[in-house]
């Protein structure tokens, strides 16, 4: 892959790397940007996307008013693996109901991490449903701030109604080592092809 004309005049200064991404999902305030920041080689960047969504029951005169535009924002970071490969980490915006109309979200996505907060496990349901429906492999990272952990992994697994093979990890995702271990577990899971 890459550009074989890079040494010709008019070729790129250097070949472009291949890119993949991981999606970092979960409910509001659960620590998505924090996890992105913990492993990214750059300060998390923020980008905005306008999505056109069908709206039902609005005054529909000659095709005007049957579409709405909503704005979604994502924080993302980068890990340069090598000159040939870059991994992006995208913190997904919370509005899961819009994700189905947003093919670019999953383009090039190897897999996802659903961050769960044991006090508000229901906020993870939307992400889990989406990834299950789209066939995107995911692991669950339970964010334990300050080592606070009030529910066992089997309890969490049952509350989230997870398939038995979906890995669940517990850690303080503000820490680079904990976030890295969750991503490594996701890579291991991808390799097993158990999904």
Partner 1 sequence: MPTSHWADEPLDDDPEDSFVRPYTITHGRTVSARGDLTLITIIVALTPPEEQFAARGLEPEHRAILEQCRRPVALAEIAARLDLPVAVTKILVGDLITLGTVAARPPVALAVGQRPDIGLLQAVRDGLRRL
Structure tokens, 41: 């080689």
Binds partner 1 (CB under 8 A): choice among 68, 80, 122, 155: 80
Binds partner 1 (CB under 8 A): choice among 53, 110, 121, 159: 110
Nearer to partner 1, 90 or 168 (CB): 90
Nearer to partner 1, 84 or 155 (CB): 84
Q: By CB under 8 A, tell whether 79 contacts partner 1.
A: yes
Q: By CB under 8 A, tell whether 119 contacts partner 1.
A: no
- Looking at 57-65, 78-86, 145-153, 158-166, which segment touches partner 1 (CB under 8 A)? 78-86
Q: How far is the CB of 28 from partner 1 (least distance, A)?
A: 4
Q: What is the 3-state secondary structure (H, E, C) of 58-122?
A: CCCECCECCEEEEEEEEEEEEEEEECCEEEEEEECCCCHHHHHHCHHHHCCEEEEEEEECHHHHH
Contacts of 57 (CB under 8 A, 6+ apart): none
Site string for partner 1, 13-32 (x = CB under 8 A): xxxxxxxxx------xxxxx
- Looking at 60-68, 100-108, 147-155, 163-171, which segment touches partner 1 (CB under 8 A)? 100-108
Compute CA distances 4 → 20, 25, 82, 149, whole Å: 21, 37, 18, 53
- Write out the DSSP string of 137-190: -EEEEEE-GGG---S-HHHHHHHTT--TTS-EEEE-TTSHHHHHHHHHHHHHHH
Binds partner 1 (CB under 8 A): choice among 88, 99, 130, 138: 88
Q: By CB under 8 A, tell whether 64 contacts partner 1.
A: no
Q: By CB under 8 A, tell whether 104 contacts partner 1.
A: yes
Q: By CB under 8 A, tell whether 145 contacts partner 1.
A: no
Burial class of residue 75 (count of CB atoms within 10 Å of its CB; 0-12, 13-18, 19+): buried
Give kind and range of the element (H or E) at residue 53.
Answer: strand 45-54
- Residue 123 DSSP class: G
Residues forming the site for partner 1 (CB under 8 A): 1-3, 9-21, 28-34, 37-39, 44-50, 71, 73-76, 78-82, 84-88, 90-91, 93-94, 104, 107-110, 134-136, 176, 180, 183-184, 187, 190-191, 193, 195
């Amino acid at each position: 892959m890459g550009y074989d004309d890079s040494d010709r005049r008019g070729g790129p200064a250097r070949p472009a790397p291949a890119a993949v991404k991981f999606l970092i999902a979960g409910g509001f305030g659960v620590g998505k940007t924090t996890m992105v920041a913990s492993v990214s080689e750059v300060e998390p960047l923020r980008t905005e996307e306008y999505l056109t969504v069908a709206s039902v029951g609005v005054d529909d005169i000659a095709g005007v008013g049957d579409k709405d535009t909503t704005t979604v924002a994502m924080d993302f970071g980068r890990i340069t693996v090598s000159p040939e490969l870059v991994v992006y980490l995208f913190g997904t915006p919370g509005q899961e109901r819009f994700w189905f109309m947003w093919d670019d979200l999953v383009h090039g996505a190897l897999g996802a991490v659903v961050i769960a907060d044991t006090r508000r496990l229901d906020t993870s349901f939307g992400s889990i449903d989406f990834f299950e429906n789209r066939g995107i492999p995911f692991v669950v990272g339970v964010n334990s701030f300050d080592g606070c952990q009030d529910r066992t992994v089997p309890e969490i697994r049952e509350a989230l109604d997870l398939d038995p093979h979906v890995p669940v990890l517990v850690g303080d995702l503000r820490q680079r080592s904990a976030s890295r271990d969750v991503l490594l577990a996701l890579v291991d899971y991808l390799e097993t092809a158990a999904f």
